[in-house]
Structures are given as C-alpha cells and as structure tokens.
Structure 1
Amino acid sequence: MAWGRALSLVEHRLEVAVTSVVEKRLGALPVAAEFLRRLDVAGIVDGVCPGGASALVMHGQVIEALVANRLTSPAPLVRVEDWARCWAVEEVFGIGPGLLNGDRLARALDAIAPHLENLAGTVRARAIGDFGIDVARMHWDMTSMSVHGAFPVEGQDEDFPVIGYGRPKDRRSI
C-alpha cells in the first residue's frame, strides 16, 4: 500500500516557478545577533533609555543593528540603511532597512549619549557573568593622550616619531 501511494505522488509532480532571487550578505550577522541577544543589549538600552516606544523600532534594536554594522562593515557611519539593504539585517534582526535611516540613528545615539557609562558597564557586567570571564588579571587602561604641535625633523624616524615632553592641550596635569 505504501508503494502505491509513493508512486501516486510521483505521478502528480508539483511545479514551482522561481519569480525572483534576492541575494544578501550574511557574514557574521547571525553570530553578532546571538551575542547581542545573550547580552540583552536591546533590553539594557531600552531599560536605561526609554522613549523609542512610539517609533517603529526601539532604541535598543537600532543600537544592536549599529553594533552589527560596526562588526561586519567597519566604515564611516553613513548609509547604514544601504548596508542593511545589502546585508541580511531584516532577516536576522527583523528591522527593515528603511528604519535605519540617518534620522533614526541620530535619535538612538542622542538617547544613549548621556548614559554611555551606565550602558557600557551594564553590558560588561553581563558579559563577565554570562560568559564566565575571569577578570582577576584584567586591567583596563583609561589613559588618554593627545599630541599637539610641531617637532624637529632632524633625528626623527619617519615611521616612529619621538614626541617630546610638554603639557596636554586640555590642561590636565601629567
């Protein structure tokens, strides 16, 4: 009986016509999305920076897409909408490319700007806990440096210039 049924299915072939093909880059987007979800970046951002609820996409979702953009296509932060159209952002993150226009990115970045320390610390703590990172030997050097001025050309190696002592232009003590 099973043989007759299989033969019957073969006789009635299903024909499928492909009307269009869309090619998008996938790259590391699924990996980035998984890490961002495990760290709950969108939830953390939306918890600290509410206000994107009236938008079609929340601040946290925009920030996740921006992080993925930085990881997959580190170029100047322009035309993210075009990047999302060429990459499988809609399929992986569920965000249509048109929702990542310059105005929406600016609103999300403006929303998180006053809270960067809190957001970064919360995401770091989440990563340490969730991934079991041993921080006993970790050192985070927050030293900043700026170089300003002209230095004598003689005695300088073009690839490795030597900078003399002076005062920082932001007037901090050395």
Structure 2
Amino acid sequence: MAFRRVPSWRRRTAGLALAVLALCAPVFSAGAAPLEWAVKATYLYKFVAFVDWPPGALGAPGEPVALCIVGPDPFGRQIDEAGAGQQIGDHPIEVRRLRQATRGSGCRVLYVRGGSNRAALAAVAGEPVLTVTDGGGGGVVRFLLTRDGKVRFSIDQAAAAANGLTLSSKLLAVAVRP
C-alpha cells in the first residue's frame, strides 16, 4: 500500500483549523452564560458615551470615572478586559467592586444584580449615577434576555432625569420598549 504525500498547504490549513477549534472549544463548551456576561460588560462601557452628565459630575480632567459592581461580580476578568483603555473624553474608566452601594461612593455607573437592587438604588437616588440592573426592577437601564438568548436593554427616562442624566436619542432608539 502506497501513501500519497499531502501537499504542505493542506497540512498548514488543517493545522490552522485545528488550532482555531482548540481555541474556540472553551467558548463552545461553556455555553451561552459567558457570552451573556461578555456582552453585558461591553454594554456597560458603551452606555457611558451616550450619557450627558451634569457639569462637574465627572470630576477634574484626567480623574477616573468609576464603574461600580455591587455584590457578587458575575463578570470576572471580562469586565476588566472589555474596559481596557476605555475613556469618557479625558477620563479613564476604572472598575470598582463594592460589597454595597453608599451615597457619595463616587460611582458614575452602578451595576447591581438581583436582590441587592432596591438598597443599592436607594443609596444613589438623586446622584448623577447611571444605574444598570439585571433582574428585578428599578434602575435607569435594565438588561433583558430575549427568548433566543440575546441581551437587550430597556431604559427608564424618568429614572435618568431623577438622577440628573440626559440620555442620547441614539441610545433610546436601540432600547427595547417596556
């Protein structure tokens, strides 16, 4: 039985395909949950660009803008990776993980998940904070999962106004109507 020599371009192509599959295997096996959190992490950073903040709310030029996660952190490193190098004008964005939200914490974006919503939202009520919730009610922005597993969001303009925030019409146009 004679063996045919496989052309080198086919060996390279097969090797490249196997390498891509090996790199993607964790994503495929991990299911939709990690993708959901990666999308939400990206949204958190992108929302900031579509908010008009009251004068002085972001602090002095160069001062970091705090994106705070209250309670258990579902994002892990994904939120840090999504935000690497992100800025609002001349303000770098910095992630803070908090056990609980407090008035005057300096958070400009506050993400709360599940049962900690009510207390966290009450703590920053009236402050220039973009509150983002996941599960439960309240907040300026609420993440939603569609039946087909896509991450969407709705917006409560009254909550934004109560916190002194004005949201861009571009952001409002892509939000789901509750």
Query: What is the TM-score normalised by the length of structure 1?
Result: 0.21
Structure (1/2) with the larger helix percentage: 1
Structure (1/2) with the larger strand percentage: 2
Pair member with larger Rg? 1
